A = this chain, B = another copy of it.
Amino acid sequence: MTRYDLALIGFGGVNRALAELIAERGDVLEAELGFALRVVAITDLRAGSLVRTDGGGIDLAGLLAVAPGELDFSGWEGGSPEPRNEWVIREVPADIIAEATFTDPTDGEPALSHVRWAVEAGKHVCTTNKGPVALHGQALKDLARRHGVCFESEGTVMSGTPVLRTARRMFGGLSVHGFEGIMNGTSNYVLGRLESGLSFAEAVAEAQALGYAEADPTADIEGHDVQLKVVILANEVLGADLRRVDVPCTGLSALTADDVRRAAAEGLRWKLVGSATRRPDGTVDARVAPVALPAEHPLAGIAGPGNAIAFHTHPLGTVTVGGPGAGRIETAYALLSDVIAIHEHTAAGAVPGAGNAILAKAHRV
């Protein structure tokens, strides 16, 4: 049985949910996937750091019995009140760094540094942080290739719904010439409630009450969240080299509730669409904007907080993948799917593009 040792950087909702997945489903995962997972380190801004590389690693059941806000590793064996991120990432003998810190999407920090440290230390990395991938995705992939490790980031777009990996692995032999997506559940929920007759303020308040919208919903409502995802998808799927400034962004405030209801009466549905298309000259045209979609459009029926991306391919046509776009368990599953992808690369003896460097990053136990 192969085993991977994980270090969880950031222990907010997502990595805590990953720990829950491993604790509750570890046996099923071993039986089904053929590898075991052991968490050997956790760091967190508030709780500090915890390192246990002996025996079964960190006792996840014991850890998860403590309420999130009350975790304080300083009194624990192997614990410290300091997060010690750099030391843990560089020095603790983990195979995979699961990066899920609170990160500023505009400069990508601290996740960007975490990813670099991990790769430089020869460790595989998976992250759910959009910032580093949107800002420096290609550079980080190149760095990972040079170091013979994997850099995975499925959770940056539509949480655990496998859109990046589907586009990468399921469209072999096809040309993907563009995509359109509903990639933000908050704004889609608000649009649906406007159709139902609520005012903009009422719809946003309801989304907040249901936990779909944050206290400051600007990034969701004005499309900035989608803008980052468009950059990530266009660079990954269309081979573009876009930065955020290359993606014009219009949010929902450009619409009135009347616009939405009038369109609905005509069979049209306003959606906040992030899209990109490869132009004949090979460059990529990308944008975020509200669009009034006809009923037969594959994204018109995406309801509530749902997300979906329609990939336009030749010669197959349009393939749409829909599913959850957020949620702590759903996003933690993205990290698990990244670990599975790392296992597949490692088991095949090669990281794609790494000159088939044989990897010895897993333990036989």
List residues of A whose CB falls within 8 A of some B CB: 21, 25, 28-29, 32-33, 160-162, 165-166, 169-175, 295-296, 298, 300-304, 306, 308, 315-324, 327, 329-330, 333, 336-337, 340, 348
Cβ–Cβ contact A296 & B300, under 8 A: no
A154 nearest in chain B by CB position:
B170
Cβ–Cβ contact A323 & B320, under 8 A: yes
Cβ–Cβ contact A321 & B319, under 8 A: yes
A340 nearest in chain B by CB position:
B172
- Which residues on the B side are within 8 Å of A28 (C-beta)? 173, 175
Cβ–Cβ contact A315 & B300, under 8 A: no
Each complex incorporates copies of this chain amounting to 2
Say which residue of B295, B306, B330, B333 sits within 8 Å of A173 (CB atoms): B333
Cβ–Cβ contact B319 & A162, under 8 A: yes
If A172-B33, A173-B33, A315-B329 touch, whether A320 touches B340 (CB-CB below 8 Å) is no
What are 6 inter-chain pairs, A to B, with CB distance below 8 A?
A162-B170, A316-B333, A317-B330, A318-B324, A320-B320, A348-B348
- C-alpha gap A133/B336 in the complex (Å): 32
A320 nearest in chain B by CB position:
B322
CB A7 to nearest CB in B, in angstroms, measures 19
Cβ–Cβ contact B169 & A169, under 8 A: yes
CB A262 to nearest CB in B, in angstroms, measures 19
CB A188 to nearest CB in B, in angstroms, measures 11
A293 nearest in chain B by CB position:
B301
A339 nearest in chain B by CB position:
B173
- Which residues on the B side are within 8 Å of A306 (C-beta)? 298
A299 nearest in chain B by CB position:
B301
- Which residues on the B side are within 8 Å of A165 (C-beta)? 170
Cβ–Cβ contact A303 & B296, under 8 A: yes
Most chain B CB within a 10 A radius of its CB, from A172, A303, A306 = A172
- C-alpha gap A29/B171 in the complex (Å): 12
- C-alpha gap A329/B316 in the complex (Å): 7
CB A351 to nearest CB in B, in angstroms, measures 14
- Which residues on the B side are within 8 Å of A173 (C-beta)? 21, 25, 28-29, 32-33, 333, 336-337, 340
If A319-B322, A322-B319 touch, whether A32 touches B340 (CB-CB below 8 Å) is no
- With contacts A28-B173, A32-B173, A298-B306 known, what are 5 further pairs, Cβ within 8 A? A161-B319, A166-B166, A169-B169, A300-B303, A317-B324
CB A350 to nearest CB in B, in angstroms, measures 10
- C-alpha gap A247/B173 in the complex (Å): 35
- Which residues on the B side are within 8 Å of A330 (C-beta)? 315-317
- C-alpha gap A138/B169 in the complex (Å): 25
- Which residues on the B side are within 8 Å of A317 (C-beta)? 323-324, 327, 330
- Which residues on the B side are within 8 Å of A337 (C-beta)? 170, 172-173
- C-alpha gap A171/B32 in the complex (Å): 11
